Amino acid sequence: MSRFAYYTVCMLGMLGVVWKLVDSPLAQTWILAGLGLAYMVMLVAGSLFPQLGFYLLALNRGPANQSNVALTFDDGPAAGITPRLLDLLKREGVPATFFCVGEAAQNHPTLVKRAAAEGHLIANHSHGHRYYWAFLSLPRLIGEFRQANQVLTEILQRTPRFVRFPFGASRPGLARILHVLNLVNVAWDVRGLEGIYQDPMTIARRIARQARNGSIILLHEAYYPNRTFDPDTVLETVRLTIAWVRERGFTFVRLDHLLEQPGYAEIQPC
């Protein structure tokens, strides 16, 4: 049973108890309103913070017994950024994981092929990355991630294994997508928050400070479909992040290699 189902059952049970034990209609109203507000806050928090595992489990980090971390990028590929980013990663000898948007990959298949050829891992980040994606019906949601899988499979001649949901949001029914498409849900435990902290030094310092053994680091090469990221800012952020995380003694490994280290039990598809 998911935490969503468990807490929903608990909340319904509490409502039944209140209704039976509290005689005053006014008291009933206030108590029920308070429980309803608490439930709504819980639902929103569960949607916005995948690390809570409220609706379904997500991989947030790798094993804590080794000083390895994984660098991941969302929302690409982007023609003005990705080639230069790949050049930087090659110079630094850092393997990364790219959670690609299907539409962007369809428009730039050579960038996806290049990233894979240079040793980076390609993963599913939905086909359209719509802002309203979490409100789609379950059949349409499955189609959204299946279409991205098909695009990436056609480009790479192999099927992605990992998925990250747009904005990291969660909702009931997503476990069905993992089951149907045989995908593993990946979140993060350290993120750049580039939409808030736009200075490369601030972002990199924040990431380096929060990194720990097994961290999965989330950065963006672009915000899809809003291509407002400045390539120079992206590259400087990544360069500083790599340098300062390494200064703390961590080694960058690819996401799948991080999760396959001895002594760590990977979450399997639901």
pLDDT at 151: 98
Task: Report DSSP letters for 158-185, one per residue.
Answer: S---EE--GGG---TTHHHHHHHHT-EE
53 found inside a domain? no
Domain identity same for 103 and 228: yes
Whether 270 is in a domain gets the answer: no
- Which of 79-88, 173-182, 230-239 is predicted with the least confidence, judged by mean pLDDT? 173-182
52-72: b or e for each residue (b if 16 or more CB lie within 10 Å)?
bbbbbbbbbbbbeebebbbbb
- Do 29 and 103 fall into the same domain? no
Beta strands (DSSP E) in the chain are: 68-76, 96-100, 121-124, 162-163, 184-185, 190-191, 216-220, 251-252
Residue 27 falls within a domain, yes or no?
yes
What would the pLDDT profile of 98-145 be if each residue is shown by its tens digit?
Answer: 999 999 999 999 999 999 999 999 999 999 998 888 788 889 999 999
User: In which band, very low, low, confident or very high, does the pLDDT at 268 lie, cut at 50, 70 and 90?
Assistant: very low
Number of domains in the chain: 2
Domain span at 251: 68-259
What's 187's domain CATH number?
3.20.20.370
**Three-state SS annotation for 116-141:** HHCCCEEEECCCCCCCCHHHCCHHHH
Same domain as 79, residue 134: yes
Positions marked active-site: 74, 220
Residue 267 has pLDDT above 50, yes or no: no
